[in-house]
Amino acid sequence: MDNQIMLPYYTAQNSPAMGMFNTSMGKLQQQLYKGEYALFRYAPMFESDFIQISKRGELIDVHNHARMVTMGVVRTSPCLTLPDVMLLARPAAICNDYALCGFATQERAKKPTETLELTRLLPLKFVKITIHNSHKQQLHLRLATGRAFYLQLCPPSDTRDLFAHWEYLVYILRPQVEAYSRTQVIPTGDKLDIHVFEEEDKSPELSF
């Protein structure tokens, strides 16, 4: 079997999040494996595709283009037992097919492999992830700066219980995030800050 496909299994043996890392490489990890960012080339990663929504669960779009996001969590050192970095990426070409994420049908259409653009790198201690709506597979992300975003999972049609891994991630990261928020000031940097999200209170006419 291809060593690339099995890489997450062999590098996440001692992690409580081992189950989510024991998966085949996603498109973001495959892209990073090529060596653009050396820190993440061999790091175990769990990733999924999402679509950005409003707090009310409505699709956020710009000129009828759905706002697609690939979100991954990474464990950058074998000494760590929990993932410590969140990566956010977007398709290099804008997606304009709402059904692509199953927003209406909950069944994802097939499409050619696309190149991703890495847009944010965030230490997970600066991000609070909560479940916004479990039934609709929606997450709420709040950064240490106070900015908040909402995402709905776009699972592949042949994948079951993918959202359960994200629910477990929320559970295991909560003590770490809460402990950090009680002892630290709000960070002003320490991230690759190329905007992939639109804040809900901003006009959707603003571009990425």
With 50 as the cut, is the pLDDT of residue 65 above it?
A: yes
Domain-embedded: residue 206: no
Q: Report how far residue 90's alpha carbon sits from residue 49's, in angstroms, rounded to the nearest whole number.
A: 9
pLDDT band, residue 176 (cuts 50/70/90): low
Domain-embedded: residue 1: no
CA dihedral 72, 77, 82, 85 (to 10 degrees): -40
Average pLDDT of the residues in 62-75: 85
Tally of domains in the chain: 1
Q: Report how far residue 36's alpha carbon sits from residue 55's, in angstroms, rounded to the nearest whole number.
A: 34
Domain that holds residue 112: 46-193
Q: Report how far residue 208's alpha carbon sits from residue 197's, in angstroms, rounded to the nearest whole number.
A: 7
154 beta partners: none
With 70 as the cut, is the pLDDT of residue 38 above it?
A: yes
Q: Name the pairing type of β-strands 127-133 and 68-74.
A: unpaired
Q: Taking the model in full, what pTM does it have?
A: 0.72
pLDDT band, residue 86 (cuts 50/70/90): very high
Domain-embedded: residue 199: no
pLDDT, residue 101, reads: 59
pLDDT, residue 77, reads: 86
Domain-embedded: residue 22: no
Residue 129: give its domain's CATH number: 2.30.29
Average pLDDT of the residues in 56-71: 84
Contact 138, 149 (CB under 8 A): no
Domain-embedded: residue 15: no
pLDDT band, residue 92 (cuts 50/70/90): confident
pLDDT, residue 166, reads: 94
pLDDT, residue 201, reads: 44
Domain-embedded: residue 12: no
pLDDT band, residue 36 (cuts 50/70/90): confident
pLDDT, residue 89, reads: 94
By residue count, the chain amounts to 208
pLDDT, residue 62, reads: 67
pLDDT, residue 52, reads: 94
SS3 (DSSP) at 122: strand
Domain-embedded: residue 28: no
Chain centre distance of CA 130: 13
Domain-embedded: residue 26: no
